[in-house]
Structure 1
Amino acid sequence: MDYLDSFSAFAAGLSFDELPATVRKHAGWILADTLAAIVAGAAEPELRSWAALQPSGPATLVGLGQQTQPVLAALVNGTAGTFLEMDEGNRFARGHPAVHVLPSILALAQERRSDTQSFLSALVAGYEVGSRLGAASQLRGSMHPHGTWGTVGAAAACARLLGRDAAAMRETLNVASSMTIATSKRTMLEGGLVRNVYAGLSNQNGYLAAQLAGCGFTGERDGLRSLFGAIVSESFDTGKLMDGLGTDWHLAHNYFKLHSCCRYNHGTLDALDALQSREGLPAPQDIERIEVVSYSLAAELDDTAPRNTLAAKFSVPFAVATRLVHGSSGLASFTWDAVRNEEVQALARKVSITEDPAMTKRLPHERPARITILDRGGRRWVGEAGVNRGDDAAPYTPAELEAKFLELTQRAWPAAHCHEVLDATHALCAGQVSMEAWFLLLRQAPAR
């Protein structure tokens, strides 16, 4: 039995009700948080225009009150979930496992009328497969992580939902490895909205990979090693892939986001928050310049004049400026109004960011940043952050996560319905609500 046999057997045999209670509870928050990101993203005008073109079918476009074909629901919901940069992530995977998995199994579970345990087992199996592949790989520097290993995670989740055995799971993973896409990091840096489709394509292609494997299609003997060892990735470490499999759960080491932007901004924003708590912040008009020092990935986000809301979410100068002007780094600080705000634009031009190699070496356990603000009177304001808030080492409280869920979902639904969906999602994970009752709640049309 090689590593891929063992990996496939793990995914095929995973049972949600046999997981530790703490893992099951945390999976409930991941499910709720990802669902909220999808609902909120579905309110964006580009997404709504696209959704209106889809044919009818049995699977829900969450937050839109529409039904379409399952494979298209996987695509559209997966795209919606990344629009606002509020979906959870995993620092070891260096990406966002849940949004690459949930839309595919939401669609498939509705199509197949799956039971709760199969659905939740599939969610965890897909998360672990995708996240571990991300951790074991070193994607080429020019690639965006969305749309890569997440495709295999989605396929694993669909195969688990369908009850595939270990051999069929292996074949599904091998098929899926050839269905990842070529992604460009420049899309996120330049604000190319096509970047949001990458996760949608992972869900669509993962769904298709499971379908194809069930029809007799085959892949390479070891597609994971082939793809991630030589094609999209510089290296593939099977030791990291298998380390702690079934005992050390990647989903328990995830992070949640309250800053409405790329995770690479969060160290700087956490440093600003800490500085404000300690000694306050200068008024934007009193600032002479701002210097940020951080790790390599954050230093790439150096655009001082982002062209749209997506580019703004991948800009440290903009994130700092909008946080200082608006007093918040939430959703409202990354809208078109914020991007067009002349005060924010002027302040962003005063922000510089550079890499500190010593900070880069602290990855992945920390994502550090130091911000220095120099005001017109000559005073220096300095804030620092190491572990980012939202990580398992510095988690948000349940109350903070609930507030985030309600803020996001109220972009589409009335407050009372949002509370009902959150309660039902946790109850689903506790075995107290049926899949059909939960799906019925998700079919709610947006408030007009």
Structure 2
Amino acid sequence: MTNRNDALSNFSVNMQFEDLHQDVVERAKLIIIDCVGAILGGVAEKDAIALINLRSQKIPGADYVKIIGTEQWAEKSQAALLYGTAGTVLEMDEGHQFAKGHPGIHVLPAILSMVQSNWLGRKVSGQEFLTAFIVGYDIAARIGAGSKLKHSMHPHGTWGVIGASVAIGKLLGLNITQTKELLNISSSLTTATSRKTMLEGGTVRNIYAGLSNQMAFLAIDLISANFTGENDGIQSVFGSIISDELNDEVILDHLGQNFEVMRNYFKLHACCRFNHATLDALWTLMERHPELHDTDNIESIDVESYNLAAELNDPAPKNMLAAKFSIPFAVATTLINKTSKVESFSGTALSDSDVLKVAKKVHITENHLMTASLPDFRPAKVSITLKIGKVLSHEVATNKGDWRSPYSPDELKEKFFSLAVRSLDREQTVCLYNNLTYLEKYDDIKTIFDIKHN
């Protein structure tokens, strides 16, 4: 069998924009737009603002980056940390169900910070940027799909550092030998992430993706300083240390022919993806049955779903991060607020007595047949028993937003605008969206992100 690291290095170095099908380019642009929207929405959050203020300054310095949506400047690797964190806090960034994580927000912040700074010493075209992003995303997602992380691990902050490092290396023009060494070095810079953080509301979880982007710059510095990794860092780290197995056949399957950006999903519900099948089913019931508009009519709500979703069972989460990983809360806030967007997972929603009252009525159990359908499908069934004894039920096999049931371009555009206007005005948002839509036509991508603030 082809050596994995040789194949990945060859793929990264030799891939050119001209080799990419138009549908791959268009999908990658949608993902980039989605991640930028998530970042712009996130930089308006209290925790993100506090971290940005601690890790940035009001005046630029060498290799400094103007943090989009703010008036702050940060050194490029710090900017990558801040972008990755901001893009995570709202739980609205895209993801990849086979990688079991979020490749986009683990790759984009690094190369966005890189091109915004003057570190490279030259202009980066939109075509170069897209190619680097697609390559980094692909390698990150393939390692995620080919590994089986220990259940105690959170996927954020793990394989993402490899994708981010490769994407930077692609823009730097690293050769095959250097890229192979970069794979070995960056794999050792993964983080010991804990799954409990998301379930218990440990907001340190929100920096995991940012750390991967920041560590990618360290990996590049280590290459430049002639540091070396082990013979096969990917195998060691993702084959035994943080993962129970590593499947090279999955990692290399149709490498360079099928691109993982084509298997991503987008999110409109502002919470963990494991909630989404439940919320999709709930929305269908809400649209069909007007009696659900008054939650006093509800006696109980029973949810069946796969094992990962069944873990999200806390009816009284301690903070908003934990609430985003709670099916009882997600169901309740959606029923009460008639939306599952950001506003239902922010502000006073966590202390809303009506929401908490409904959350106590929600019970979730694992359906083993649904678990067996992973990762191809992520099903759920919602059954609502009314006080009059009537039972309303609906089941979905997959989540809206993936390639089987995609959101429309207008829905994704509306999502971008709803997030971006949290830190930009309407005119700035329109300009940025239009420019990102034609990303590949730019000779200097940095100009897209030179957003003038009023």
TM-score, with normalisation over the residues of structure 2?
0.95
Cα drift, residue 8 of structure 1: 1.1
1:104 and 2:110 correspond: yes
Find 2:306's aligned residue among 276, 279, 295. 295
Cα drift, residue 50 of structure 1: 1.5
Residues 355-394 of structure 1 aligned to structure 2 (within 5 Å): 355-394=366-405
1:406 and 2:446 correspond: no
Aligned residue number for residue 4 of structure 1: 5
Aligned residue number for residue 125 of structure 1: 135
Residues 83 and 196, structure 1, Cα contact 8 Å, conserved in 2: yes
Could you tell me how far apart the structure 1 residues matched to 2:434 and 2:195 are? 37
Cα drift, residue 276 of structure 1: 2.5
Could you tell me how far apart the structure 2 residues matched to 1:138 and 1:97 are? 16
1:13 and 2:14 correspond: yes
Aligned residue number for residue 276 of structure 1: 286
Cα drift, residue 432 of structure 1: 4.3
Residues 301 and 315, structure 1, Cα contact 8 Å, conserved in 2: yes
Residues 29 and 130, structure 2, Cα contact 8 Å, conserved in 1: no
1:283-310 C-alpha deviation (Å, 9 max, x unpaired): 2111111110000100010011011111
Give, as a single letter, the amino acid of the residue that structure 2 aligns with 1:319: A
Find 2:260's aligned residue among 245, 250, 260. 250
Instruction: Give 5+ residue unaligned stretches, structure 1.
Output: none
1:74 and 2:60 correspond: no
Aligned residue number for residue 425 of structure 1: 436
1:383-439 C-alpha deviation (Å, 9 max, x unpaired): 11111100011000100000000000000011111011010011113x146313212
Aligned residue number for residue 124 of structure 2: 115
1:200-229 C-alpha deviation (Å, 9 max, x unpaired): 000001121122112211101110011100
SS class of match (2:84):
helix
Task: Count residues in correspondence.
Answer: 443
Could you tell me how far apart the structure 1 residues matched to 2:283 and 2:337 are? 13
1:334 and 2:345 correspond: yes
Q: Which moved more, 1:261-270 or 1:2-11?
A: 2-11
Give, as a single letter, the amino acid of the residue that structure 1 aligns with 2:158: T
Could you tell me how far apart the structure 1 residues matched to 2:443 and 2:71 are? 21
Could you tell me how far apart the structure 1 residues matched to 2:8 and 2:361 are? 49
Cα drift, residue 281 of structure 1: 4.9
Could you tell me how far apart the structure 2 residues matched to 1:300 and 1:213 are? 41
Cα drift, residue 279 of structure 1: 3.5
Q: Which moved more, 1:105-114 or 1:338-347?
A: 105-114
Residues 296 and 356, structure 1, Cα contact 8 Å, conserved in 2: yes
SS class of match (2:365):
strand
Could you tell me how far apart the structure 1 residues matched to 2:271 and 2:123 are? 34
Could you tell me how far apart the structure 2 residues matched to 1:281 and 1:300 are? 29
Aligned residue number for residue 156 of structure 1: 166
Could you tell me how far apart the structure 1 residues matched to 2:66 and 2:15 are? 26
Could you tell me how far apart the structure 1 residues matched to 2:129 and 2:111 are? 7
Residues 19-34 of structure 1 aligned to structure 2 (within 5 Å): 19-34=20-35
Instruction: Give 5+ residue unaligned stretches, structure 2.
Output: none
Could you tell me how far apart the structure 1 residues matched to 2:95 and 2:84 are? 14
Aligned residue number for residue 48 of structure 2: 47
Could you tell me how far apart the structure 1 residues matched to 2:129 and 2:99 are? 23
Find 1:348's aligned residue among 359, 382, 391. 359
Give, as a single letter, the amino acid of the residue that structure 2 aligns with 1:53: L
SS class of match (2:88):
coil
Residues 427 and 433, structure 1, Cα contact 8 Å, conserved in 2: no
Could you tell me how far apart the structure 1 residues matched to 2:164 and 2:45 are? 24
Could you tell me how far apart the structure 2 residues matched to 1:17 and 1:277 are? 45
Residues 114 and 161, structure 1, Cα contact 8 Å, conserved in 2: no
Q: Which moved more, 1:296-305 or 1:115-124?
A: 115-124
Could you tell me how far apart the structure 1 residues matched to 2:284 and 2:55 are? 46
Could you tell me how far apart the structure 2 residues matched to 1:292 and 1:252 are? 30
Q: Which moved more, 1:271-280 or 1:155-164?
A: 271-280
Residues 432 and 449, structure 2, Cα contact 8 Å, conserved in 1: no
Aligned residue number for residue 181 of structure 1: 191
SS class of match (1:96):
coil
User: Cα–Cα, structure 1 residues 17 and 280, in superposed 2: closer, same or farther, change >3 Å?
Assistant: farther
Give, as a single letter, the amino acid of the residue that structure 1 aligns with 2:27: H
1:169 and 2:175 correspond: no
Cα drift, residue 54 of structure 1: 2.3
Aligned residue number for residue 67 of structure 2: 61
Could you tell me how far apart the structure 1 residues matched to 2:303 and 2:69 are? 38
Aligned residue number for residue 305 of structure 1: 316
Could you tell me how far apart the structure 1 residues matched to 2:154 and 2:308 are? 12
Could you tell me how far apart the structure 2 residues matched to 1:34 and 1:400 are? 15
Cα drift, residue 265 of structure 1: 0.1
Find 1:91's aligned residue among 64, 81, 97. 97
Could you tell me how far apart the structure 2 residues matched to 1:403 and 1:419 are? 11
Residues 109 and 161, structure 1, Cα contact 8 Å, conserved in 2: no
Could you tell me how far apart the structure 1 residues matched to 2:402 and 2:339 are? 20
1:351-393 C-alpha deviation (Å, 9 max, x unpaired): 1111011001111111000011111111101011111100011
Could you tell me how far apart the structure 1 residues matched to 2:136 and 2:447 are? 23
Aligned residue number for residue 39 of structure 2: 38
Could you tell me how far apart the structure 1 residues matched to 2:216 and 2:88 are? 17
Could you tell me how far apart the structure 2 residues matched to 1:35 and 1:176 are? 24
Cα drift, residue 333 of structure 1: 0.4
Residues 213-224 of structure 1 aligned to structure 2 (within 5 Å): 213-224=223-234
SS class of match (1:85):
coil
